[in-house]
Amino acid sequence: DVKVTQSSRYLVKRTGEKVFLECVQDMDHENMFWYRQDPGLGLRLIYFSYDVKMKEKGDIPEGYSVSREKKERFSLILESASTNQTSMYLCASSILSRGEKLFFGSGTQLSVL
Amino acid sequence: DAKTTQPPSMDCAEGRAANLPCNHSTISGNEYVYWYRQIHSQGPQYIIHGLKNNETNEMASLIITEDRKSSTLILPHATLRDTAVYYCIVRVEKGGNQFYFGTGTSLTVIP
């Protein structure tokens, strides 16, 4: 089975800190995605990547950046964390072709104090 | 913006069929309909997807109307473990194959 691993299940950071959320997948998938999930708002796409060193903005990229230096790893970076970035962050991957499904990690619950 | 509309919540008796509706009136000809579910504190899990024809797998059935403007996910014999949020997603073909999630339907299976 595909495994998508997020480095932390829970994370607590201070306002203004630089935060790295790491995601690794083990199935050689081309596509990787970062979503955030908030009550009443569902999942919203932050960034995605369809190849190494490639990235595309999703619906809510403001305040975030990403890095994809290796195919299996996709990092989400909060340059200066703010309280409104307190959220559940979900990473996903998929094969680059029509009709393929997403595989999700278990999520990182980030609290910014 | 979300491309699908789902009821926010539904209940279903254990052992009965759960029928979860989804409207996607602006779907285009090459867009697929996907269903995922999310059990509390876990990442979403793929259930099923389809383009035009009805589909069935070991988890569920997907019924897509002829005009493709709506679909129904059917869990034939709901169990308590099926209590989850169910997302209906239309897959946009744009660059990196984005998936847009809405707020889903919270299904509660009642003993």
Q: For every one of its 111 residues, what pLDDT tens digit does chain B have, with 9 covering 90 and above?
A: 448 999 999 999 999 999 999 999 988 887 888 999 999 888 999 999 988 889 999 999 999 999 999 999 999 999 999 999 999 988 765 444 567 787 899 999 999
CA-CA distance, B100 to B4, in Å (whole number)? 9
User: Could you give the CA distance from residue B76 to residue A33 in angstroms, rounded to a whole number?
Assistant: 32
Instruction: Check CB contact under 8 Å for B42 and A31.
Output: no
> B103 vs A40: CB contact, 8 Å cut-off?
yes
* Site from A5, A60, A96, A101 to mutate, B interface, most B CB atoms within 10 angstroms: A101
Chain B residues bordering chain A (beta-carbon distance below 8 Å): 2, 32, 34, 36, 41-46, 49, 51, 87, 93, 95-104
Yes or no, beta carbons of B98 and A43 under 8 Å apart: no
- Strands B9-13, B33-38: parallel, antiparallel or unpaired by DSSP? unpaired
Cα(B78)–Cα(B96) distance, integer angstroms: 35
At residue B99, the pLDDT reads 76
Residue spans of chain A under pLDDT 50: none
Distance CA B89, CA B99 (A): 7
| Beta-carbon contacts below 8 Å between A and B | 66
Q: Would you state the pLDDT for residue A2?
A: 66
Cβ <8 Å between B43 and A106: yes
- pLDDT of A99 reads 55
Residue A1's alpha-carbon distances to A103, B11, B48, in angstroms, are: 10, 31, 17
Residue B68 DSSP class: S
CA distance A14 to chain B (A): 23
Write down the pLDDT at residue B31: 82
Q: What pLDDT score does B1 carry?
A: 43
Which residues 14-53 of chain A have a CB within 8 Å of chain B?
A: 31, 33, 35, 40-45, 48-50
pLDDT of residue A40: 84
Chain B residues whose CB is inside 8 A of the A100 CB are: 97
